[in-house]
């Protein structure tokens, strides 16, 4: 009797759990990751419309302390992102996503209960502690999510990452609006409790959707013979990290000062300021997909990162207004629109560039490369979100909006020149023949 119908042994190097994950399962996991990215980034701005007035009027918190409370989550998230990349092999991505979402969700629910605290000191200390707690959850989840995306969707990493970042941008943009509506409907606790429960529930759903092991770790792939930090020393990784940091820095730079500039210098109002922030987000979303398609066919993505630096510097030249262009709200909208597109060129190709550079250096440690680079990439975004508003406030207090824009322009264009001289900018679009072999 012929044995031609007998099941054949798997010979593929793709991990068995990935091979068994059908396209529909991957699509479902992808949609859940998008939804969680949206909700997670809502947490950073959902309190913006109502927390500062309550903290100031009822508990006497200073503006500086409120700023520290808001920055605490991003600061801790940056640290947690980096450390998570190094320990992910020990705990597993699926577990770290679940743990991070649970921590973040519980932190949000408890933050919503701050309204029942009457003592001013306890309110301040609890606010700061809970934001730190949320930052731990956010950083853990961000690193594990990026690593999961890099592993499960390596064939279209650029486009999945572009959509993921677009969902994040949408969450950041809509968060104040959602927060304001929920606050009007149910008071202080409702936005945080609803968002916290939503994150926990979606996290559980994602935990069911992902395979038991979303990685292809093998004993020989361990980095015991290679220092994990060694893969971060690659010049391409360093530039990708710094440029994604600068891209987020540029966008977040506007947060503390754009409303003041529009209202004081252009006689605008809050609606025009909100429109400006919408223009940033939707120009980023609009540019992300074309950038991802360009990125997918490139051997090295340094040229796209270089374009980001040039465009980001140009956006600040436009924003400098009276020095070159007429002073008007339309000029501001043009500047922030260019900034959103520049951010897409800086953020979307960065993680694929880091993963590719690391995989070329450690081809036997592909999954560890994904983990470490994902944590490093997440940390760059968090650090940019911290540094942008801080430098923006300092420059605005000591100079003016236009002078600050020119100083930031110098940072972007000087970095572009350094990158060009480093030799990491290669203007080509050929498909890397090793790409499919290096990634799992």
Q: What is the pLDDT of residues 237-283, one digit of tens each?
A: 888 889 989 988 888 787 667 767 777 777 777 677 778 778 888 88
Say what the pLDDT of residue 210 is.
Answer: 76
More confident residue, 298 or 11: 298
So what's the pLDDT on residue 412?
Answer: 94
Q: What is the mean pLDDT of residues 153-180?
A: 78
Q: Is the pLDDT of residue 375 over 90?
A: no
For 321-365, write each residue's pLDDT tens digit. 655 666 778 888 888 899 989 988 988 888 888 888 887 777 777
Q: Is the pLDDT of residue 411 over 90?
A: yes
pLDDT at 17 over 50: no
Q: Quick one: pLDDT at residue 76?
A: 87
Query: Which range is least confidently modeled, 78-82, 284-288, 379-383, 427-431?
Result: 427-431
Average pLDDT over residues 68-91: 80
CA distances from 366 to 112, 150, 229, 327 (A): 41, 10, 15, 51
CA angle (33, 254, 338) in 5-degree steps: 75
Q: What is the mean pLDDT of residues 133-141?
A: 87
Mean pLDDT for the stretch of residues 82-91: 77
pLDDT of 3 > 70? The answer is: no
Q: Is the pLDDT of residue 204 over 80?
A: yes
pLDDT of residue 414 exceeding 90: yes
Instruction: Give the pLDDT of residue 270.
Output: 66
Confidence of residue 416 (pLDDT cuts 50, 70, 90): very high
């Amino acid at each position: 009797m012929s044995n031609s119908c007998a099941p054949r042994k798997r010979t593929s190097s793709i991990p068995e759990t990935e091979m068994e994950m059908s396209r529909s399962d991957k699509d479902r996991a992808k949609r859940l990751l998008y939804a969680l990215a949206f909700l997670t980034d809502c947490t950073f701005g959902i309190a913006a419309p109502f927390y500062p007035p309550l903290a100031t009027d009822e508990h006497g918190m200073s503006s500086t302390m409120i700023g520290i409370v808001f920055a605490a989550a991003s600061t801790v998230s940056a640290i947690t992102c980096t450390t998570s990349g190094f320990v992910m092999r020990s705990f597993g991505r699926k577990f770290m996503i679940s743990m991070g979402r649970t921590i973040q969700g519980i932190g949000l629910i408890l933050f919503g209960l701050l309204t029942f605290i009457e003592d001013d000191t306890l309110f301040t200390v609890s606010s700061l502690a809970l934001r730190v707690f949320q930052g731990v959850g956010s950083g853990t989840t961000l690193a594990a999510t990026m690593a999961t995306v890099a592993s499960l969707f390596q064939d279209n990493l650029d486009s999945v990452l572009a959509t993921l970042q677009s969902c994040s941008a949408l969450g950041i943009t809509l968060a104040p609006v959602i927060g304001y509506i929920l606050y009007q409907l149910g008071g202080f606790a409702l936005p945080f409790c609803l968002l916290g429960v939503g994150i926990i529930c979606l996290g559980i759903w994602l935990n069911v959707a992902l395979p038991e092991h979303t990685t292809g770790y093998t004993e020989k792939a361990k980095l015991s013979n290679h220092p994990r930090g060694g893969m971060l020393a690659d010049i391409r990784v360093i530039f990708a990290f710094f440029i994604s940091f600068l891209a987020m820095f540029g966008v977040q730079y506007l947060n503390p000062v754009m409303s003041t500039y529009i209202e004081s210098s252009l006689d605008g109002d809050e609606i025009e300021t909100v429109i400006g922030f919408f223009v940033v987000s939707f120009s980023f979303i609009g540019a992300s997909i074309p950038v991802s398609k360009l990125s997918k066919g490139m051997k090295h993505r340094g040229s796209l990162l270089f374009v980001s630096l040039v465009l980001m510097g140009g956006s600040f030249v436009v924003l400098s207004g009276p020095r070159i262009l007429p002073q008007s709200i339309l000029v501001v909208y043009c500047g922030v629109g260019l900034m959103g597109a520049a951010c897409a060129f800086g953020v979307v190709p960065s993680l694929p560039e880091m993963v590719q550079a690391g995989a070329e250096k450690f081809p036997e440690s592909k999954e560890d490369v994904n983990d470490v680079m994902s944590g490093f990439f997440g940390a760059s975004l968090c650090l940019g979100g911290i540094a942008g508003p801080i430098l923006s406030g300092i420059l605005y207090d000591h100079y003016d909006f236009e002078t600050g824009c020119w100083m930031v322009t110098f940072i972007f264009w000087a970095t572009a020149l350094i990158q060009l001289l480093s030799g990491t900018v290669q203007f080509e679009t050929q498909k890397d023949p090793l790409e499919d072999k290096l990634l799992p």
